[in-house]
Structure formats: C-alpha cells, structure tokens
Structure 1
Amino acid sequence: MTFTGFDPDAPAFYAELEQHNTKEWWLANKQRYDEAVRAPADALIEQLGAEFGPVKIFRPYRDVRFSADKRPYKDHLGLVTTPADGSALYLQLSQTGLMLAGGYHRPATDQLKRFRAIVDDNRLVGDLEATIEEVGEAGFEVFDEDALTTAPRGFTADHPKIALLRLRNLAIRRVHAIEPWMFGPESLDRIREGWRTIGIWNDWLVENVGPTVSPAQRR
C-alpha cells in the first residue's frame, strides 16, 4: 500500500477520543481507527522503513497499571525507530498536528554525564552548538520541557551553558499545526526531510555521547 498522506479524519478521531476515552466508544469506533489511523500508518511505516530501517507503531492502549490517570487509550498515533545505537526517530500525530522528533529519550546517567562534560568543555561545546544551530535552521528545537529547574550536581547556576546542562532528554523536535499538506503525498517528503535532519543530531549523539554502558542505570 502506498502512503498518500494521513486521513483527514484522523485528527477528528483523536479529538473525539479525548472527549470519550472509554472502552465503549473505542469499540464503536474501532473500524474508524483501522481505516483513518492504522491503515495510513502501516503504509507510511513500509515506505519509511526502506530508508530509515524498521519502524514500530505504538499500541493505542495506555499502560494504566501504575498511573493515577486511568484513561485507557492514547490520544495520538506514535511511530518510532529503535536502532541498536539507541538514537531514535519519532513521529506523533494528534488532533493538534504532527510532531517529528528524535535523539536519546530518557538517556542513562552515564550518557548525561558525558553530554554535560562536553557542554562544560570549551574545546568541544562549539561543535554541539553548531549542530543545534544546523538543525535549528530546519525548524527543530532542543526538547527542554522536562529540564532540571536547578543546576545539575557539580555545576553552578550561573554556568554560561546552564540551559544545556539542565537537559534531561537529549532530543530535538519540530511541531506542525494541522495543515493541508499532511493529507496528501507531500507529507511523505516532508517527513523524510524531517527525519533526515534529525539524523544530523543523532549522528552527533552517537559519535560524541554514545549508547549507555549501564542499561539498568537511569537518571
């Protein structure tokens, strides 16, 4: 199946799901999900996989076992690559638009330590900042929504690169509001372009930070 764009009903599906996040509504609209969300996603996965490697679609069900939020279904479509080096490419479609993102999500403590050492080294931080500037020219920004509110241990709050030191996710993203191009063939080219740009960031991460050597170790 050829991907010709997202179904225009997909954002509306998620808008309605937000208002009726119940098993009863889901079952009544399951065919709609299959046709408006899942079928185009499967076609997109096949075409992206040819260039970027295997792409996984996230299940639509939320894991509510340890959450106070018991809504059973996710309010968005999520696609992701999971290469062996740990750097990811991500796509999210929701009622509000499309997000392209990637990098190291929830990096381990040893990865953050190496990243912060680079930020703190005047000989090395320039290459990082140049990479951020390069992807920024394509509309990507560093993901800082969950950054530390204080300086990480070993650094002072007046450090000249404190914004980078506070990062807890080493990821970038570009967010698009709902636009007509998302529902036509042009969307494939735009997604590919976005993921290729994220590849510049991921290449820097893999070369300079690298995968964790302590998989069980977290922030």
Structure 2
Amino acid sequence: MSATVKKTTPAGASTVRLSSVRVMVGGCLVDGRSLCLLPSDRHHRYRPRSSYPSPQPTSHLAMTAAYFTPHTFSFLSDLAANNNREWFLANKSRYEADVKEPALRFISDFSMPLEGMSPHFRADPRANGGSLFRIYRDTRFSRDKTPYKTATGIQFRHEAGRDAHAPGFYLHIQPGDCFMGCGSWRPGGPALRKIRESIDEDPQAWKRASRGARFRGTFELSGDSLIRAPQGFRVDHPLIEDLRRKDFIAVAQLSEDDLMSDDFLDRFTALCRTAAPFQRWLCRATGVSY
C-alpha cells in the first residue's frame, strides 16, 4: 500500500514526509503486496514479554516502525522448505527486502545504544563482514549440503575478537525459535582456561554475575559441557557444573511478536543492559575491556 504519512517530530525539528510505507491494519502488516499471515507457533516455549525489563526509549526514532515483519518469517519458513539454489535465486529479492535490509537497519540503529553501554562492542552494518551473519552455509566439512541457513543471526562482537567465538551480544531470528544471547560461544583454549580459573579464584564474583536475581529472572545459562571435570580441577569442586562448561552463554527466549513490535530496539537494548554484569565479568576474566 502506498501512502503519504506526516510524521510528528520533536520541537525544533522539521516535518518529514514518507511514502510507500507499511501500514498496520487489524494487527497485520500491509505494504502493497498480498497480505501474509503466519500461523501462530505456540509449541515453542518463551517467556511472556511482561517478564522482561521495561524498556527505556533510546531515541524518538526507536518507536517509528518495526524492523521485522511477517514477511521476514514467511521468507525463512519458505526457505526451510525450499533450501536450494534455484529457489533462492528466484526469491533473492525477498531475502534482500524482508530479511537483510531490515537486519542491517536494526544493526545501524543499535550502534548508539550499544555505545552507551560499552564502547568496546561493535554494531557493524556492513552487508559483508559486519554484524550480520552470512546466509550461505559452509558445507565443506558437513554431511548436510543444503546451501543456506534457515535462520538469521546478528552478533555485536567485542572489538578484541573477529569471529563468533568472541564475547558479544547476539540476536537469533528463526520461525518458532527467536532469542537474544550474550556471552562467549566456544571460547578458544587460552580464553576458556582464564574463565575457569576466574571462577575458581573468585567464586562469589562469578555467582553475582551469573546468578543475580534480575539476570536469572530473564536469562538462562546454556551451551555444551564436558562429561568430566576439566584438567586441573577437582571432581568435587563446588562449582564443577560451571567449570565443565564449554560455552559461557546466556539466552533469553523471544517470540515472533516481540521481534515484530515497534519498540523492539528498546526491548533488545533493555535485555543487553540486564546482561551487562555477566558480560562485564566475562570480559574481566578474559582480560579485555568492557
């Protein structure tokens, strides 16, 4: 639907006119294409939005429009059912318009709130090599040769790291499985050793970072663990369950409605602020700045 909308701006700012915008009609998003509604997925467990910290507006732009829409999830669902190059090439314009462009816009808009939390994490809106993960799978060493990822990942990495193993904030977008994550996934040997030694040397600091009421009311520690105690640590160590971890990450489940809300930027920012003590501890443990 093409429309001309007059946007109210703060005092002293000029009036802006926007065209070809998407419009909410009866809870559905209409943008000139056929109306697309996805069936609700109630089988995936997530916390109700009311359990998350109340967002504080990051700017007057944060409430203007949703980044992700039913079209985002419709494309990803269709891709999962048609994961081949011919289908993707025929529908690449949908990927660009409904997934990639909104994700890059979200990354760009999150740069200022992220800077306010820590100047050492990066929101990089480059189309290649930035915060947005590539949609193309690396199939060289995998038995699964399907060429495309059926989820979209965004990582706001620490400046000291150049890959997915560095500490960071993360957004996972997938039909029926959306979540925000924080921490370090599969840290390398030296970093992993430092994390475990920090837990052992100051267990109370680790407990404050990972078991605080506000943090644990929103996040759940996740990831894989060793079967046995890591080398150099007692089997009966009081924190052996934590010392056995291979991933030091925490996850907050989100619904598709959360991501499609007009205030999602503020809500994501609030989640990152709640994760700050955990991230700060992790950075200190690995010897990088927060």
3-state secondary structure, aligned to 1:54: coil
Q: Find 1:66's aligned residue among 141, 147, 165.
A: 141
**CA distances 1:30-52 after superposition (whole Å, capped 9, x unpaired):** 11111211121121111101222
Aligned residue-pair number: 207
TM-score by length of 1: 0.85
Alpha-carbon offset, residue 202 of structure 1: 1.5
Q: Find 1:27's aligned residue among 89, 93, 96.
A: 89
* Structure 1 residue runs of 4 or more that deviate by more than 6 Å after TM superposition: none
What is the alpha-carbon root mean square deviation over aligned residues?
A: 2.0
How far apart are the structure 2 equivalents of 1:93 and 1:18? 13
Which residue of structure 1 lines up, in the alignment, with residue 220 of structure 2?
141
**Contact in 2 for aligned 1:61/1:74 (Cα 8 Å):** yes
Q: Find 1:184's aligned residue among 255, 258, 261.
A: 261
3-state secondary structure, aligned to 2:275: helix
How far apart are the structure 1 equivalents of 2:109 and 2:278? 22
Alpha-carbon offset, residue 3 of structure 1: 5.3
Q: Find 2:150's aligned residue among 46, 65, 75.
A: 75
Which residue of structure 2 lines up, in the alignment, with residue 13 of structure 1?
75
How far apart are the structure 2 equivalents of 1:201 and 1:3? 31
Which residue of structure 2 lines up, in the alignment, with residue 159 of structure 1?
237
**Larger helix fraction of residues:** 1
**Structure 1, gaps ≥5 residues long:** 212-219
**Contact in 1 for aligned 2:154/2:171 (Cα 8 Å):** yes
> What amino acid does structure 2 have at the position aligned with 1:40?
P
Identity of aligned residues (%): 30
Which residue of structure 1 lines up, in the alignment, with residue 279 of structure 2?
202
> What amino acid does structure 2 have at the position aligned with 1:59?
R
**Structure 2, gaps ≥5 residues long:** 1-60, 115-121, 125-130, 162-166
| Structure with larger RCO (C-alpha < 8 A, sep 6+) | 1
Q: Find 1:173's aligned residue among 241, 251, 263.
A: 251
Q: Does 2:186 match 1:106?
A: yes
TM-score by length of 2: 0.66
**Contact in 2 for aligned 1:91/1:99 (Cα 8 Å):** yes
> What amino acid does structure 1 have at the position aligned with 2:269?
R
Which residue of structure 1 lines up, in the alignment, with residue 228 of structure 2?
150
Give the greater-gyration-radius structure (CA): 2
